[in-house]
Chains A and B, each alone.
Chain A
């Protein structure tokens, strides 16, 4: 997933893998989510909802790094999906990111799971 820029430049990379588990469209995120890459994740969620996929799981277990911008995207995605009658779950077994969710109290706001339901 890394080094795909083609010119050898060391850019922050974000890999978004799409799959379906049960009734959820799953976005599996590799690489680093920060203010540079977060728009790609936001767009991926938006694209899914545009296709009528309103139950979305964002899997942060393989994510190398996530900052507050990424958390902002999670909050925005949850709100937009909820408003449209859908839902967002955040899958995370990554201790660093769990700590971040815990620090911010977002573990109580977001639906954080160990695995995608039905997996």
Chain B
């Protein structure tokens, strides 16, 4: 992590960045969403929005893990928070499909031999869940942009929330 400046008093200095990446496994999604809420709290995001930040970053990370799992990718999921005029969260995957495939064929090659891979119901729910993550994100986050996939990589979910005194209250 490379973010040590939490003192935002006296004007907006260089943006602060917290960046990390994690193996695309379900066990680490919780860590990502807890870090998100903590960094957002440090940044000064309103207390009433912290649950939203936690949920949204968790959904975006879940989606990224599902996309990697579906493609059999063990590349890291990348997470970046930046604190400038707004609190910005970006979650980037490496899966080049627009959506997870609608059947479970790829799951047989899931790295790590996850026991769920052979579970048809679980695979079906995973596919369903990627759709639901986007529905939840769309309903939850006012400033949401999903970009990609492009030739260089997968998709990025970008979200932002207002910070006090930034002059950009709800939208941008």
Contact = CB atoms under 8 A, between A and B. Distances in A.
A12 interface: yes
A11 B25 CA distance: 13
Interface string A40-78: 001000000000000000000000010111011101100
A104 B129 contact: no
Interface string B114-128: 001000011011101
Contacts, number: 73
Interface of B: 26-27, 29-30, 51, 54-55, 58-59, 62, 65-66, 116, 121-122, 124-126, 128-129, 132-133, 135-136, 139-140
Contacts of B125: 38, 42, 69, 72-73, 75-76
A96 B116 CA distance: 28
24 contacts: A12-B30, A32-B30, A34-B26, A34-B58, A35-B129, A36-B26, A39-B116, A65-B55, A67-B55, A67-B62, A68-B59, A68-B132, A68-B135, A71-B132, A71-B136, A72-B132, A73-B125, A75-B125, A76-B128, A96-B51, A96-B55, A100-B136, A104-B136, A105-B135
